[in-house]
Amino acid sequence: MNANPPDPAELGRRLAARDRTAAPAALNVIEQTGERHAADVAALLAEVAPEKLGGDAPGMIVGVTGPPGAGKSTLLSELVAKWRERGKSVAVLAIDPSSKRSGGSLLGDRARIRVEPGDTDVLIRSTATATRLGGLAPATREAALAMAAAFDVVIVETVGVGQSETDIAELADSVVVIVQPASGDVLQFIKSGVMEIPDLLVVTKSDLGAPATRAARELMGTVKTLGSHTPVLLVSSLPPSTGVDELIDTVESHHASLDLPASRAEARRAAALDAFVHEHGERGLRAVGGRRAAQRLLAEPSPTPGLPRLVELLQDAAGY
Ligand SMILES: Nc1nc2c(ncn2[C@@H]2O[C@H](COP(=O)(O)OP(=O)(O)OP(=O)(O)O)[C@@H](O)[C@H]2O)c(=O)[nH]1
Ligand SMILES: [Mg+2]
């Protein structure tokens, strides 16, 4: 009994109408790779492009990243629960490159994040798909942008290694970097020189007491030294959690202060460039005169500034 596969454009239209029951099937379409599916993906994405929506997708795209074991998944569970209490719909896209060994999607995080049965206003999708350097797969960027049409909050969770941190900064409206107390993680983070990436810094496991307070102080010191104003927050995700409401308030006020059109334009350009490189490789990139030239091309105004059109522009330039 195989029902007809859902029409991709119809799925896109349902997302645009904020019908969240279309989201799982839409994600299935977006996650398909290869030439054969490209038209389906493009048809779906065209329906949630800004020119169809009459502006940027309204959902907040929040990146949550941090080293392995920092407490990301546990914190996400609290964040989802509290955002739901506030009446917000939430989609979580969790990327775990380490699970590649087992292949396919994983159930671990889905099991850990508490979801009321039958609650279609929460969607948890775990995927093992990541690039070799730990960066975001093109489908993840597209999925996040598409989900932002239908959900109030879209959280993209990555393990903060390699390329993933810069990728998440391009994609997300707000980036939350989480660090756990002690174990050299804080020092490691400060030394890594990616201080410009977080919009918010969170020290988890504040229930551990002094080490957590010390870690937060160290981070605040570094932020101040750099002349930055990135907020540093302390949270405990163990019940009863503390600091999570403040975290949500801080994310929401950061989002409210953003130049959303600029941020989303950057995210779409990055997604388009990424899709192009994915499809045509470094050779394709050389054909348009290199990465910088490609970025310049993408920044040029286009009559239909949707994702597929941007890719088209690049392809034209490359003589494909
Ligand atoms: N004491 C304390 N332990 C915590 C807290 N949050 C998470 N943990 C514990 O820290 C460990 C790692 O938590 P996860 O949420 O799995 O961390 P993660 O960042 O998702 O880890 P990866 O998915 O492996 O990158 C688990 O044993 C959690 O129970 C917290 O607020 N306080
Ligand atoms: Mg995790």
pLDDT of residue 100: 43
- Mutation probe of ligand 1 site: the residue of 65, 72, 73, 74 with most atoms within 8 A of C-beta: 74
Question: Is 127 touching ligand 1 by the criterion CB < 6 Å?
Answer: no
Residue closest by Cα to atom 21 of ligand 1: 69
| Residue burial 81-95, b: 16+ Cβ < 10 Å; e: rest | bbbbeeebbbbbbbb
Q: Tell me the CA distances in angstroms from 100 to 28, 157, 162, one per residue in order.
A: 18, 16, 16
Q: Tell me the CA distances in angstroms from 235 to 65, 129, 200, 211, 217, one per residue in order.
A: 15, 29, 12, 13, 14
Question: Is 99 touching ligand 1 by the criterion CB < 6 Å?
Answer: no
**How many Å lie between the centroid of ligand 1 and the Cα of residue 72?**
6
Looking at the CA of residue 241, tell me the nearest atom of ligand 1.
Answer: 31
pLDDT of residue 104: 40
The ranges of the chain annotated as CATH 3.40.50.300 are 60-256
Looking at the CA of residue 68, tell me the nearest atom of ligand 1.
Answer: 25
| Residue burial 30-62, b: 16+ Cβ < 10 Å; e: rest | bbeeeeeeeebbbbbbbbbbbebeeebbebbbb
pLDDT of residue 314: 59
Q: Which CATH architecture has domain 60-256?
A: 3-Layer(aba) Sandwich (3.40)
Give mean pLDDT in consecutive 10-residue pieces for the chain, a chain of 320 residues: 78 97 94 81 92 92 90 93 96 73 43 74 82 72 94 92 76 92 74 79 95 92 87 94 97 94 84 78 78 75 52 57
Ligand closest to Cα of 67 equals 1
Ligand closest to Cα of 69 equals 1
pLDDT of residue 255: 94
Question: Is 204 touching ligand 1 by the criterion CB < 6 Å?
Answer: yes
